[in-house]
């Protein structure tokens, strides 16, 4: 018997919500889930000052820099349009030289930069309840909450993530006072290019991702 699953946008082959050139599928979230009330509520949220400013800046960067600005340039352009003077970098210590290079670029373009590395505070993994054997990979724990607190204290106005581990990044996003964007997504296998595994899921990465159906 075929597996029963809840259909959603990830199962959609028409994406009528984008170009409005076909028809909505039966399970379409736009027609079946989203109510007028939800739309009105979200429109109100976009009128809140920070949200409106961010939407204007993001849409402007997309429009003006479409397929011509790199992500690093886009971050700076977004920061300028947001009126940001001081950028925080929350970096993996394994990517400190990349973060230094990124800071050099940001500074060249007039931004103040302040960074916090993931092992800041030197707290042992066992001190926060992590299993002792995990100290074989390094004694000190990554410390995304403290990274966020330090950047909050430094008054950074936009924080940029450089290669924080999955889940550590989640906590950094949670505790950062400033809005956060990501410059580098950690992937130790693909040179920090996680989409490589997605592109290759039916071929080079198939055995890793679907081990039962080689
Ligand atoms: S909103 Fe509807 S049309 Fe758009 S991707 Fe989702 S299911 Fe498809």
pLDDT at 56 exceeding the cut of 80: yes
pLDDT, residue 22, reads 87
- In tens, the pLDDT along 200-210 reads 999 999 999 99
2: confidence class by pLDDT, cuts 50, 70, 90: low
Which atom of ligand 1 approaches the CA of 27 most closely?
A: 7
30 lines ligand 1 (CB under 6 A): yes
pLDDT, residue 26, reads 95
With contact defined as beta carbons under 8 Å apart, do 24 and 15 qualify? no
Residue 33 CA, ligand 1 centroid: distance in Å: 11
pLDDT, residue 214, reads 57
- Whole-angstrom distance, CA of residue 136 vs CA of residue 155: 35
Residue 35 CA, ligand 1 centroid: distance in Å: 14
pLDDT at 37 exceeding the cut of 80: yes
Reported pTM: 0.95
- Whole-angstrom distance, CA of residue 18 vs CA of residue 123: 47
Q: Tokens 């909450």 belong to which residue?
A: 145
Q: How many CA atoms lie within 13 A of 189 on its CB side?
A: 10
9 lines ligand 1 (CB under 6 A): yes
pLDDT, residue 195, reads 97
pLDDT at 159 exceeding the cut of 70: yes
pLDDT at 1 exceeding the cut of 60: no
Least confident window among 1-15, 20-34, 76-90, 194-208: 1-15
The predicted model gives 180-207 an average pLDDT of 97
34 lines ligand 1 (CB under 6 A): no
Q: Closest Cα to atom 6, ligand 1: which residue?
A: 9
pLDDT at 4 exceeding the cut of 90: no
Which atom of ligand 1 approaches the CA of 7 most closely?
A: 7
pLDDT, residue 167, reads 98
pLDDT, residue 212, reads 87
- Whole-angstrom distance, CA of residue 85 vs CA of residue 144: 23
The terminus-to-terminus CA distance of the chain in angstroms comes to: 22
The predicted model gives 21-50 an average pLDDT of 96
pLDDT at 29 exceeding the cut of 90: yes
pLDDT at 57 exceeding the cut of 60: yes
Paired tokens of 200: 């290759």
CA distances 158 to 46, 162, 181, 207, Å, are 19, 13, 8, 39
Backbone φ, ψ for residue 95 (5° rounding): -120, 25
53: confidence class by pLDDT, cuts 50, 70, 90: very high
């Amino acid at each position: 018997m075929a597996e029963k699953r809840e259909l959603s946008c990830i199962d959609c082959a028409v994406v009528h919500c984008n170009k409005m050139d076909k028809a909505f599928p039966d399970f379409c979230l736009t027609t079946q889930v989203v109510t007028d009330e939800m739309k009105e509520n979200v429109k109100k949220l976009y009128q809140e000052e920070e949200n409106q400013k961010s939407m204007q800046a993001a849409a402007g960067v997309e429009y003006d820099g479409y397929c011509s600005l790199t992500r690093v340039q886009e971050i700076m352009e977004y920061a300028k349009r947001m009126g940001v003077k001081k950028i925080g970098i929350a970096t993996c210590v394994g990517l400190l030289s990349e973060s230094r290079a990124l800071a050099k670029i940001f500074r060249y373009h007039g931004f103040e930069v302040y960074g916090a590395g993931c092992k800041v505070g030197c707290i042992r993994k066992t001190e926060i309840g992590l299993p002792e054997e995990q100290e074989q990979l390094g004694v000190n724990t990554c410390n995304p909450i403290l990274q966020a607190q330090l950047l909050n204290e430094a008054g950074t106005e936009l924080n940029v993530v450089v290669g924080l581990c999955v889940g550590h990044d989640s906590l950094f996003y949670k505790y950062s006072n400033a809005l956060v964007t990501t410059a580098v997504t950690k992937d130790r296998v693909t040179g920090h290019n996680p989409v490589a595994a997605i592109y290759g899921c039916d071929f080079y990465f198939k055995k890793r991702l679907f081990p039962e159906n080689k």
